[in-house]
Structure 1
């Protein structure tokens, strides 16, 4: 999943938003000096991504992409899921989306290097840029999502206009994928709640 979904699921499970975002940046075994809250959030992020990648709806969405884009399907579909989460926000969250984003942006921008329990280098630069520039608001629009994918594509080892992978989708295809998301996301929310409870028990020893 992508940033918006991980922030939403952090609120849904009452776990660390920062930890849930750091799962994209912290690889391998977790350092012992991380706070329990960050450790739990990172671990939850990893289980959420594993569940998503193996869910039948996500796998079907990836498989439905045309061959030039299927290789990058998990990236494309994760971004589209953030788009549809934005569009259907009131189904899944009580707070209005603008207030939700403003609250999380403020919290992220308070993270400083060497803060107790935080990473020594501070907030990863992409997360700082996201909070400073308000990236997530653009995901509510199809073209905004495509432009965000173009940005990701420019950072690939071989730069690629990833946004074309969603611009090329027909309206009926988009509709089928959207219905798949609406079937998938309640499953993910239920899974995340259960995993958060399990991980909290593990972290408590």
Structure 2
């Protein structure tokens, strides 16, 4: 999953949300540098990714995308799924997307001392261009994928992924709808488990 989904799935705990957001910028033993609750957010991010990558519906999406985007098909799928979450955010949250985005940016920026270098690099652009809200529009997803394409080492074709989304929009939307409730259920159970361990520690 991409940024919006990780933030949304973290619930209302600011430290869990922060850890979930920065996780891709944390490698190996670096996790031990962070406070316990942020560590739990980082671990939650990794569990979300593992669940997503192993889910049968996500594999369907990736296989549809693979002829066009090869090794980057999973990246495109993640971004597509963030689009469907953003575009239908009112179905998932009582908080409007623009308010959720502002609250999320504030939570992340409130702990600058814990931001990994990778996150420090892109966060100002994310906030200034309001990526989380732009994901609700196909043009926003297209812009995000074009940006990712420029940063890949190998040819990715991701600059065309906005067109592919428009062309087969209903297929991808149906797959998101089949997958996301399973992910929500799984994450809810994991957060309950994490919280139980947190109270015992």
**Match runs of 1:1-205 below 5 Å:** 1-11=1-11, 16-65=16-65, 67-113=67-113, 118-119=114-115, 124-158=120-154, 160-169=156-165, 171=167, 173-203=168-198, 204-205=200-201
Q: CA–CA distance in 2 between the matches of 1:13 and 1:54?
A: 26
Q: Tell me how many residue pairs correspond in the alignment.
A: 200
Q: CA deviation at 1:131?
A: 2.0
Q: CA–CA distance in 2 between the matches of 1:124 and 1:24?
A: 12
Question: Would the alpha carbon gap of residues 72 and 31 (structure 1) be closer, same or farther in structure 2, given more than 3 Å must change?
Answer: closer
Q: CA–CA distance in 2 between the matches of 1:51 and 1:168?
A: 25
Q: CA–CA distance in 2 between the matches of 1:168 and 1:199?
A: 38
Question: Would the alpha carbon gap of residues 33 and 13 (structure 1) be closer, same or farther in structure 2, given more than 3 Å must change?
Answer: closer
Give the aligned CA root-mean-square deviation in angstroms.
2.3
Q: Determine helix, strand or coil for the equivalent of 1:158.
A: coil
CA contact (8 A) 1:109 1:128 kept: no
Structure number with the higher helix fraction is 2
Question: Would the alpha carbon gap of residues 169 and 82 (structure 1) be closer, same or farther in structure 2, given more than 3 Å must change?
Answer: closer
Q: CA deviation at 1:9?
A: 0.5
Q: CA–CA distance in 1 between the matches of 2:27 and 2:5?
A: 20
Q: Determine helix, strand or coil for the equivalent of 1:101.
A: helix
Q: Determine helix, strand or coil for the equivalent of 1:93.
A: coil
Q: CA deviation at 1:147?
A: 1.1
Question: Would the alpha carbon gap of residues 195 and 15 (structure 1) be closer, same or farther in structure 2, given more than 3 Å must change?
Answer: farther
Q: CA deviation at 1:28?
A: 1.4
CA offsets 1:85-138 (integer angstroms, 9 cap, x no match):
01111111110111111111122223323xxxx257695322332123311221
TM-score (norm 2): 0.89
